[in-house]
Amino acid sequence: MKLITKNTDYAVRALIYISRSGKRIVPASELIDALVVPRPFLRKILQILNKKGVLKSYKGKSGGFELARAAEEISLVDLIEIFQGQFTLAECLFRRKICPNTGTCALRNSLSVVEEKVVEQLKPITVKSLASFNGR
């Protein structure tokens, strides 16, 4: 199972790049060149990040994108939830009357704990921490 899809992956890379570039407004074209990512796909991703309040966009000639909030306020969980949806367990299928032990499903209960732990692990991973990871 994949923890991260390409949407999220590209989003992270783009955000790291923007973060490292200082407070500049970075146009999509520059990101596409730097990251070697398919143009229309990245453009779509940037638009979503804009709508979700992660990036702020500027139209027009010397427009582009900047971080809408501080790099340390953008966590990996945020991005995963934007592109891959909220963490969920298996759908517990009550409609189909599964779960003979009505009410308290063993699997459900165990997984919701795991879920919390996963989020807890991912939360401190931010654009800031990733950007400053290796000097470069």
Partner DNA sequence: TAAAATGATACCATATTAGTATCATTTTGT
Partner DNA sequence: ACAAAATGATACTAATATGGTATCATTTTA
CA–CA dist 47, 57 (Å, integer)? 8
CA–CA dist 65, 59 (Å, integer)? 9
Residues 73-112 interacting with its own copies (rule: CB under 8 A):
76, 80, 84-90, 93, 96-98, 100-101, 104, 106-107, 109-111
Closer residue to its own copies (CB): 58 or 91: 91
Residues 36-55 interacting with DNA (rule: CB under 7 A):
38-41, 43-44, 46-47, 50-51
CA–CA dist 57, 65 (Å, integer)? 5
Q: Tokens for 54, please give them.
A: 């992660």
Nearest to 125 by CA among 78, 55, 67: 78
CA–CA dist 34, 29 (Å, integer)? 9
End-to-end alpha-carbon separation of the chain, Å? 30
Residues 13-52 interacting with its own copies (rule: CB under 8 A):
13, 16, 34-37
Query: Residue count at the site for DNA (CB under 7 A)?
Result: 28
Q: Is 122 in the site for DNA (CB under 7 A)?
A: no
Cβ atoms of 75 and 125 within 8 Å: the answer is: yes
Q: Choose among its own copies, DNA, none what residue 114 binds, the Cβ cut-off being 5 to 8 Å by kind.
A: its own copies
CA–CA dist 101, 98 (Å, integer)? 9
Task: Give the binding site for its own copies (CB under 8 A).
Answer: 1-6, 8-9, 12-13, 16, 34-37, 76, 80, 84-90, 93, 96-98, 100-101, 104, 106-107, 109-111, 113-115, 117-118, 121-122, 125, 129-131, 133-134, 136
Task: Give the binding site for DNA (CB under 7 A).
Answer: 1, 5-7, 27-29, 38-41, 43-44, 46-47, 50-51, 57-65, 84-85
